[in-house]
């Protein structure tokens, strides 16, 4: 077994242990100590896989792991101000699986002009937007589940803040994610040739990304002018992120995993 594979398996196992401990004893000191170390190790694996050979190498495994690393990082930071152990345990479990995805889905492609500062900035902004909107989508899923529990007369369990607190966090996350997505979409549209070395092509990836941007923009306008909240806001959030998911990870999964290209 290679050292890299051993480290990958250890990081995945530690994520699984953290997820289990968060479900049983959310306030355990061992979790608070271990979580930042696991995030640091996961980030190191991503850096080695994406930038370790001097250029930028992306693929389904790398992209999926980066998105879930950003999501786990966001929840770890947010959990310091609000009780999010329940959702953080799910995110930790998904992040652990994404680490394994890096080992199984090893196909990658070199990004042209990868030394260009503008391209690196574009990729960083894109991944940050994706990560924040992934956090928003998970918030939306959790809020839907909690709302159904409340309608059945069930009480919320520990490790989960009130719905109004979750809703406020949801719209703050969407607002920041939308601002970064705006930068990512418009820099890709207007500076495609400078960033990627080719003129813009309106492929299904580009169309889906723009549709996602329109959905999140419509949601924020509806919130501001018409006070949208509850299920309306949740459905718009999930729809917007689903479009974004299909635009990027969906495209890479079909090309690399299903078609082997």
Average pLDDT over residues 198-216: 77
Residue 123: pLDDT band with limits 50, 70, 90: confident
93 in the same domain as 213? no
**Using an 8 Å Cβ cutoff, are 221 and 256 in contact?**
no
212 in the same domain as 103? no
233 in the same domain as 189? yes
Boundary-marking domain end, from 60, 92, 110: 110
Residue 246 has pLDDT above 70, yes or no: yes
Q: Which two three-digit tokens encode residue 14?
A: 């530690």
**Count of the separate structural domains present in the chain:** 2
- Between 59 and 134, the more confident residue is 134
Boundary-marking domain end, from 94, 110, 126: 110
* DSSP conformation class of 197: S
129 in the same domain as 94? no
39 in the same domain as 23? yes
How high is the pLDDT of residue 48?
Answer: 87
Residue 23 has pLDDT above 70, yes or no: yes
**Using an 8 Å Cβ cutoff, are 185 and 248 in contact?**
no
pLDDT tens digits for 130-151?
888 888 887 788 777 777 766 6
pTM to 2 decimal places: 0.76
179 in the same domain as 60? no
234 in the same domain as 257? yes
Give dist(CA 118, CA 9) in Å, integer. Answer: 34
Q: How far is CA 211 from CA 205, 216, 242, in A?
A: 10, 9, 10
140 in the same domain as 18? no
For the chain, report the end-to-end CA distance as a whole number of angstroms.
Answer: 27
Q: How far is CA 232 from CA 6, 134, 183, 220, in A?
A: 45, 18, 26, 12
192 in the same domain as 128? yes
Residue 253 has pLDDT above 60, yes or no: no
246 in the same domain as 151? yes
Burial of 175 (0-12, 13-18, 19+ CB in 10 A): middle
Boundary-marking domain end, from 58, 75, 110: 110
**Using an 8 Å Cβ cutoff, are 165 and 87 in contact?**
no
Give dist(CA 26, CA 140) in Å, integer. Answer: 22
171 in the same domain as 58? no
Instruction: Provide DSSP, 135-200.
Output: HHHHHHHHHHHHHHHHHTTPPPPTT---HHHHHHHHHHHHHHHHHHHHHHHHHHHHSHHHHHSS--
Give dist(CA 116, CA 143) in Å, integer. Answer: 41
Q: Which of 131, 136, 113, 111 is nearest to 50 (CA)?
A: 111
- Residue for token pair 């953290």: 18
Give dist(CA 193, CA 151) in Å, integer. Answer: 52
How high is the pLDDT of residue 108?
Answer: 63
224 in the same domain as 143? yes
How high is the pLDDT of residue 203?
Answer: 66
**Using an 8 Å Cβ cutoff, are 207 and 244 in contact?**
no
**Using an 8 Å Cβ cutoff, are 128 and 52 in contact?**
no
Average pLDDT over residues 195-207: 63
Residue 230 has pLDDT above 90, yes or no: no
Provide the residue range defining the domain that includes 96. 1-110
């Amino acid at each position: 077994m290679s050292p890299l594979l051993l480290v990958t398996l250890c990081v995945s196992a530690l994520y699984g242990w953290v997820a289990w401990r968060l479900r049983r004893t959310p306030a355990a000191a061992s979790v608070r100590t271990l979580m930042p170390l696991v995030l640091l190790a996961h980030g190191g694996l991503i850096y080695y896989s994406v930038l370790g050979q001097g250029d930028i190498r992306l693929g389904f495994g790398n992209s999926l792991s980066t998105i879930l690393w950003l999501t786990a990082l966001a929840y770890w930071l947010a959990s310091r101000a609000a009780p999010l152990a329940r959702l953080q345990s799910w995110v930790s479990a998904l992040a652990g699986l994404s680490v394994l995805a890096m080992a199984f889905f090893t196909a990658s492609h070199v990004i042209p002009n990868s030394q260009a500062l503008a391209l690196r900035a574009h990729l960083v902004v894109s991944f940050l937007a994706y990560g924040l909107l992934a956090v928003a989508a998970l918030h939306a899923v959790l809020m839907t589940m909690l709302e159904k529990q409340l309608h059945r007369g069930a009480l919320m369990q520990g490790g989960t803040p009130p719905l109004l607190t979750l809703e406020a966090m949801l719209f703050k996350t969407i607002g920041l994610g939308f601002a970064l997505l705006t930068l990512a979409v418009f820099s890709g549209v207007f500076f495609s040739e400078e960033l990627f070395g080719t003129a813009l092509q309106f492929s299904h990836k580009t169309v889906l990304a723009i549709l996602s941007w329109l959905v999140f923009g419509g949601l924020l306008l509806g919130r501001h002018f018409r006070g949208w909240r509850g299920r309306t806001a949740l459905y718009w959030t999930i729809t917007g992120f689903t479009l974004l998911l299909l635009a990027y990870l969906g495209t890479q999964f079909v090309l690399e995993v299903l078609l082997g290209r």
